[in-house]
Amino acid sequence: MQYRNTILFALLSVLWGTSFVAISVGLEALPPLLFAALRYDIAGVLLLAYAVIAADQWRPHGKDEWLLVSIGGILVIGVHFAFLFIGQTYVTSGIAAIVLSTAPILTPLFAWVLLPDERVGISGAIGILLGLVGVALIASPDPSAVDGTAVGVLLLVLSAASFAFGAVLVKRLPARMELIPSQAWMMLIGAVSLHIGSPLRGEAGISTVVWNIETVISLLYLAIVAGAIGFVIYFDLLEEIGAIEISLVNYIVPVVAAVFGWLMLSESITGQTVSGFAVIFVGFVLLKWDTVSSQIIHIQARLSRGHSVENEYVDISAIQSENQTQRRSYPADD
């Protein structure tokens, strides 16, 4: 199918963008950590069932592989989504998605600190700085309103940071696992950590939840559609078009989240929020400038020889190391 990858990319953007709207709906009835835990109970079981059928090795073997899925589960799923779901009780769907889009910017920062071979050049440093400036624009900190947007944005920055930190730690590990089973086990371990955190935070138990059709739909949508199905699409695109192009979904998702939040929940979209997102996006481009510029040159050269844009994805050999990071460790942030 000629436009298969384009259609899947657009579908993934919609699924993950609308997931922020579903979170806002579910948080009306469910405590944040319990909500996140239930989401990954269901998504993890479904993805593991798929792994049993499709993968050569569906479970971890040895302490190194168990360490990989444990670190990924606790940081990339558990801590990450704990801060995300709590943070979204303070802000709109669009703001949550925009702040989460800083995860690809924070990842090289942690890699520079923790991985000896990773370096951040001048353009990368400027990109990271711009990402933080964009977040500050969105937060608009007001000392007289410490319980509002600024608190939510801070929690969401911690969410993005835990994702980035966990991804870098996973990269340091020697273990190798197939993508789908490793992600399934991370989901399940992350769900357990969220279940443990829920009562420690003082949240009410599941027996006290007043269920309604909107809550059920939001939970099932997050777990099955945006969760299990969304990650399968993501893994497929990662194989087909590479890590750089698939990472751009992080910058389509906030647009989708903001538009659907406005349409479905009457959430406002301010000029300052749009400006903050634009600054974050420019920061990402600067951070990835070497790869982006080389890819533009590559595409232009191919087009000059009569090739179509649809068949132009990413020169995998040029970004093999970055692809390996994504293949071994973590999903794009949703």
Residue 224 has pLDDT above 80, yes or no: yes
Look over the chain and give the mean of its residue pLDDT values, rounded to a whole number. 84
Residue 85 has pLDDT above 90, yes or no: yes
What was the pLDDT predicted at 312?
Answer: 38
Token pair listed for 196: 């443990």
Residue 309 has pLDDT above 50, yes or no: no
| pTM tops 0.85 | no
Residue 146 has pLDDT above 60, yes or no: no
What was the pLDDT predicted at 2?
Answer: 57
Query: Where is pLDDT greater, at 191 or 332?
Result: 191
Model pLDDT for residues 243-299, shown as the tens digit of each residue: 767 777 888 899 899 999 999 999 988 888 888 889 988 888 887 776 666 666 666
Token pair listed for 25: 């709906």
Query: Where is pLDDT greater, at 237 or 148?
Result: 237
- The answer to whether residues 107 and 167 touch, using CB atoms and an 8 Å cutoff, is yes
Which CA distances in Å does 298 have to 13, 231, 267, 314, 320? 25, 29, 41, 9, 16
What was the pLDDT predicted at 207?
Answer: 94
Model pLDDT for residues 160-203, shown as the tens digit of each residue: 999 999 988 988 888 788 889 999 999 999 999 999 999 999 99
d(CA 275, CA 128): 16
Number of H helices, E strands in the chain: 16, 0
Model pLDDT for residues 1-46, shown as the tens digit of each residue: 558 888 999 999 999 999 999 999 999 999 999 999 999 999 999 9
Which amino acid appears at position 325 of this protein? T
Query: Where is pLDDT greater, at 219 or 118?
Result: 219
